[in-house]
C-alpha cells in the first residue's frame, strides 16, 4: 500500500481530547470515598432503625441514592458541561427527565390501579371476620353487579 492511502492522519489522533477528560488518582479516591460514605449512611439508617417511619427512611435512602448517582457521573464517568461541547451533559439530562417521567408515571398508574381495581377490599375484609358463609359470597356477587 502506498503512503497516499495511509495519509489520513494517524499521527495526530489525540487532538480531539479535551483537557481534564480523565481523572487523577486524587479525584478517583474522592469519588470512591464519597461512594463509600453514601452507601454506609443508608445502610446504617436501615440496620440501626434510627428513623422510626419506614416511608421517611425510604425517602432518605432514595435521596442518598440520587446523590450517589451524581457522584458517580462526575467522578467516574467524567460528565460535565465542558466534555464534548456539553452534548454528553445534555444527553444525560434528557435521560434523567425520561427516567423521572417513566418512574413517576409507573408509580401513579400502580397506585391508581390498586385504588380503582380494589374499591371494596377494605369493607369486605371487615365483613369476612364476622361471618364466613354463603352470605359473604352473595354480598360479593351483589357488589360485583353494582360496579360500573
Kindly state the average pLDDT of the residues 17-45.
Answer: 86
Kindly state the average pLDDT of the residues 3-27.
Answer: 59
Q: What is the pLDDT of residue 11?
A: 52
Q: In the predicted model, is pLDDT for residue 99 greater than 60?
A: yes
Q: What is the pLDDT of residue 10?
A: 52
pTM over 0.75: no
Mean pLDDT value across the chain:
76
Residue 82's pLDDT band (cuts 50, 70, 90): confident
Residue with more model confidence, 31 or 89:
31
Residue with more model confidence, 87 or 141:
87
pLDDT per residue over 44-74, tens digit each?
999 999 999 888 888 899 889 889 988 998 8
The grid coordinates of residue 21 equal 477528560
Q: What is the pLDDT of residue 26?
A: 92
The grid coordinates of residue 25 equal 488518582
Q: What is the pLDDT of residue 30?
A: 95
Residue 93 to residues 18, 63, 96, 142, Cα–Cα distance (Å):
21, 18, 5, 52
Kindly state the average pLDDT of the residues 23-38.
Answer: 94
Positive or negative: CA dihedral 130, 133, 137, 142: negative
pLDDT per residue over 118-139, tens digit each?
766 555 555 555 545 555 555 5
76, 31 contact by CB (below 8 A):
yes
Q: In the predicted model, is pLDDT for residue 21 greater than 70?
A: no
Amino acid at each position: 500500500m502506498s503512503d497516499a492511502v495511509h495519509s489520513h492522519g494517524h499521527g495526530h489522533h489525540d487532538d480531539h481530547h479535551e483537557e481534564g477528560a480523565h481523572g487523577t488518582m486524587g479525584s478517583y479516591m474522592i469519588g470512591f470515598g464519597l461512594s463509600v460514605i453514601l452507601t454506609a449512611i443508608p445502610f446504617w439508617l436501615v440496620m440501626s432503625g434510627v428513623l422510626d417511619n419506614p416511608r421517611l427512611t425510604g425517602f432518605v435512602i432514595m435521596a442518598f441514592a440520587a446523590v450517589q448517582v451524581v457522584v458517580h457521573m462526575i467522578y467516574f464517568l467524567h460528565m460535565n458541561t465542558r466534555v464534548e461541547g456539553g452534548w454528553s451533559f445534555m444527553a444525560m439530562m434528557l435521560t434523567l427527565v425520561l427516567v423521572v417521567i417513566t418512574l413517576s408515571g409507573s408509580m401513579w398508574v400502580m397506585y391508581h390501579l390498586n385504588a380503582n381495581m380494589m374499591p371494596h377490599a377494605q369493607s369486605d375484609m371487615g365483613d369476612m371476620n364476622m361471618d364466613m358463609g354463603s352470605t359473604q359470597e352473595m354480598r360479593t356477587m351483589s357488589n360485583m353487579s353494582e360496579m360500573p
